[in-house]
Amino acid sequence: MKTVFVISGPSGSGKSTLINMLINDFSDISPTVSHTTRRMRSGEVDGKDYYFVNQERFAEMIQNGQFIEHVKCFGNFYGTSLMTVERSFEKNNLCIMDLNWEGAYNLLHDGNNNNVLSLKSDNLKKIGVLILPPSFKTLRDRLQKRNSETNESFESRLSESFVVEKIAKYDYVLINGNITESYNDLKEIYNIWK
Ligand code: 5GP
């Protein structure tokens, strides 16, 4: 049995921190590495945080049917390739994906492209977890502290957070007011489904 954890949450929800904690503690979970056309932030590593590619390359990959899902988000493209999922599954039977609400929706509902269909199997479980901040103010404060975005992106990331909870279909919702408590909850979910 293989399991995919699909994790979503607005920028500033604490999603990346929680995912990294889980990956560090449990060697049987492999993260998938997405492709993106957004610029690399300082500290990011190509091939580890993302595969950073230009728009032409991304478009070529779409044409070749290499993505199981892809989206345009905050003006950039993001996508999960079939290759990265297969690589993760070569190592273990558990992988974890960080997807925006739209990508999560497509994957959790199986979408209608062939690569998503190829992930359909009686032997595959897909568990969706949505991480939310305790309040909108907390989100604004966290994003301001993080300060990694341009003003424009900051505002679009804030407004995007309104959309998340309404549309996607998740199995769990974690309200991240306290990182230790949220991590304990995430570990419980992992233990149930691993
Ligand atoms: P960031 O620019 O902060 O790294 O990511 C922006 C958003 O893109 C986040 O919500 C993240 O979950 C989402 N994201 C990252 N990789 C993928 C992907 O491969 N597919 C989808 N659908 N969303 C992604």
85 CA distance to ligand 1 middle (Å): 15
Residue 110 has pLDDT above 60, yes or no: yes
Helices 101-108, 151-167: inter-axial angle, 10-degree rounding: 30
| Sign of CA pseudo-dihedral 33, 34, 40, 41 | negative
Cα-flanking dihedrals φ and ψ of residue 99, to 5°? -120, 145
Comparing CA positions, the residue from 164, 172, 127 lying closest to residue 29 is 127
**Between 116 and 186, where is the model more confident?**
186
**Between 122 and 166, where is the model more confident?**
122
Cα–Cα distance between 127 and 193 in angstroms, integer?
Answer: 8
Residue 166 has pLDDT above 60, yes or no: no
Q: What pLDDT score was predicted for residue 101?
A: 86
13 neighbors 131 (Cβ within 8 angstroms): yes
CATH number for region 2-193: 3.40.50.300
Q: Which pair of structure tokens corresponds to residue 8?
A: 């979503």
The shares of helix, strand and coil residues in the chain, as percent rounded to the nearest 5, are 45, 25, 30
Residue 39 DSSP label: P
**Between 55 and 148, where is the model more confident?**
55
Cα–Cα distance between 194 and 182 in angstroms, integer?
Answer: 18
Structural domain boundaries of the chain?
A: 2-193
Percent of the chain with pLDDT over 70: 87
Q: What pLDDT score was predicted for residue 124?
A: 85
The lowest-confidence range among 45-49, 54-58, 108-112, 144-148 is 108-112
Q: Which pair of structure tokens corresponds to residue 113?
A: 């492209």
The average pLDDT across 57-74 equals 95
Comparing CA positions, the residue from 52, 117, 56, 60 lying closest to residue 78 is 52
| Site of tokens 């989100």 | 139
11 CA distance to ligand 1 middle (Å): 9
Q: What pLDDT score was predicted for residue 154?
A: 79
Q: Which pair of structure tokens corresponds to residue 63?
A: 């044409």
Q: What pLDDT score was predicted for residue 114?
A: 62
Residue 80 has pLDDT above 90, yes or no: yes
98 Cβ below 6 A of ligand 1? yes
Q: How confident is the model at residue 164 (pLDDT cuts 50, 70, 90)?
A: low
**Between 59 and 112, where is the model more confident?**
59
- For the CA of 34, the closest atom of ligand 1 is 19
